[in-house]
């Protein structure tokens, strides 16, 4: 079984709709992250959480919100989706330690029409 | 703001050739990681280097961290079609800042 899972894997939605992307992990890591990946722009950090009570904005948090329901679960919401939020979204986890190695989920491909 | 520049952005070579991918910054990083991403999947860690001048080998892949911890390179010997993918470097800031700064990636295609 995969250590970091994301649901759904693919999603098509319409402008203005609210959608939620979910991430679950069985690695026991405290730190979780949400990224989006766009061609030519690389991976950009949306939000990150170092524990259940800690939520931090990344470099592109506008238009997004998150919820850390438990150590193992970190959800990303688009309150009112817009076409330029069409992208590949990745969840990642990281253990405490001297290096910041991150373990990524398989991604969610989102298309906003 | 820390930035990582990767070059080249695209690389298409024949099976058996050697190649080097570069990752450069004006900032110092506490660690430098290389990830490989295949289509439809998330990035997978290849290696982490933490000491200036460090060299690590993973089969046909050789990773080097610059002496000043501002740059890194990935060298692949005798590339194979299975090496095809997006290679990403990522720098860690260290301390309590457990975030990574990613380069935009090098898309490698190895033709049979």
Within the 8-47 window of chain B, which residues sit less than 8 Å (CB to CB) from chain A? 30-31, 33, 35, 40-45
Mean of pLDDT values over B86-97: 81
pLDDT in tens, B12-21: 999 999 999 9
Across the interface, which of B43, B50, B99 has its CB nearest the CB of A104? B43
Mean of pLDDT values over B58-78: 95
B69 contacts B30 by C-beta, under 8 angstroms: yes
The band of A1, judged by pLDDT with boundaries at 50, 70 and 90, is low
Residue with tokens 């405290």: A30
- CB contacts < 8 A, A to B, total 56
- Taking the C-alpha atoms of residue B3 and residue A36, their distance in angstroms, rounded to an integer, is 17
User: Residue B39: what pLDDT?
Assistant: 86
B60 contacts B78 by C-beta, under 8 angstroms: yes
Across the interface, which of A42, A101, A106 has its CB nearest the CB of B42? A106
User: Residue B73: what pLDDT?
Assistant: 97
**Does residue B63 carry a pLDDT above 70?**
yes
- Taking the C-alpha atoms of residue A113 and residue A96, their distance in angstroms, rounded to an integer, is 39
The conformational region for residue B16 under phi > 0 = left, psi -120 to 50 = alpha, else beta, is: left
CB contact under 8 A, B41 and A106: yes
User: Residue A98: what pLDDT?
Assistant: 58
Burial A1-28 (b: 16+ CB within 10 A, else e): eeebebeeeebebeeeeebebbbbbeee
**Does residue A2 carry a pLDDT above 70?**
no
- Taking the C-alpha atoms of residue B34 and residue B13, their distance in angstroms, rounded to an integer, is 20
Mean of pLDDT values over A63-69: 96
- What are residue B23's phi and psi, to 5 degrees? -135, 115
User: Residue A100: what pLDDT?
Assistant: 73
**Does residue B94 carry a pLDDT above 90?**
no
Mean of pLDDT values over A59-68: 95
Alpha carbon separation from B5 to A52, A63, A111, B103 (Å, rounded): 33, 27, 28, 6
CB contact under 8 A, A100 and B92: yes
Burial A47-84 (b: 16+ CB within 10 A, else e): bbbbeeeebeebeebeebebebeeebebbbebeebeee
Mean of pLDDT values over A18-33: 95
B89 has a chain A CB within 8 A of its CB:
no
Output the DSSP codes for A59-87.
TT-TTEEEEEEETTEEEEEESS--GGG-E
User: Residue B92: what pLDDT?
Assistant: 86
The band of B96, judged by pLDDT with boundaries at 50, 70 and 90, is low
- Taking the C-alpha atoms of residue B23 and residue B97, their distance in angstroms, rounded to an integer, is 21
pLDDT in tens, B35-62: 999 988 999 999 999 899 999 999 999 9
- Taking the C-alpha atoms of residue A35 and residue A43, their distance in angstroms, rounded to an integer, is 6
The band of A41, judged by pLDDT with boundaries at 50, 70 and 90, is confident
User: Residue A96: what pLDDT?
Assistant: 76
């Amino acid at each position: 079984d995969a250590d970091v899972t994301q649901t759904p894997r693919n999603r098509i939605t319409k402008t203005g709709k609210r959608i939620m992307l979910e991430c679950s992990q069985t690695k026991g890591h405290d730190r979780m992250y949400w990224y989006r990946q766009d061609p030519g722009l690389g991976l950009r950090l949306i939000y990150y959480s170092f524990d259940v009570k800690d939520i931090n904005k990344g470099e592109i948090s506008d238009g997004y919100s998150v919820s850390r329901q438990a150590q193992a679960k970190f959800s990303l919401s688009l309150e009112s989706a817009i076409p330029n939020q069409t992208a590949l979204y990745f969840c990642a986890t990281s253990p405490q330690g001297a290096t910041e190695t991150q373990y990524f989920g398989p991604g969610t491909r989102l298309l906003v029409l | 703001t820390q930035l990582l520049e990767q070059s080249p952005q695209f690389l298409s070579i024949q099976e058996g050739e050697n190649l080097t991918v570069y990752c450069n910054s004006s900032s110092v990083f506490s660690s430098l990681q290389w990830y490989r991403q295949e289509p439809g999947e998330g990035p997978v860690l290849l290696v982490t280097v933490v000491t200036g001048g460090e060299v690590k080998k993973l089969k046909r892949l050789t990773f080097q961290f610059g002496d000043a911890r501002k740059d890194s390179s990935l060298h692949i010997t005798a590339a194979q079609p299975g090496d095809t993918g997006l290679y990403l470097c990522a720098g860690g800031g260290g301390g309590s800042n457990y975030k990574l700064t990613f380069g935009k990636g090098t898309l490698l295609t190895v033709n049979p």
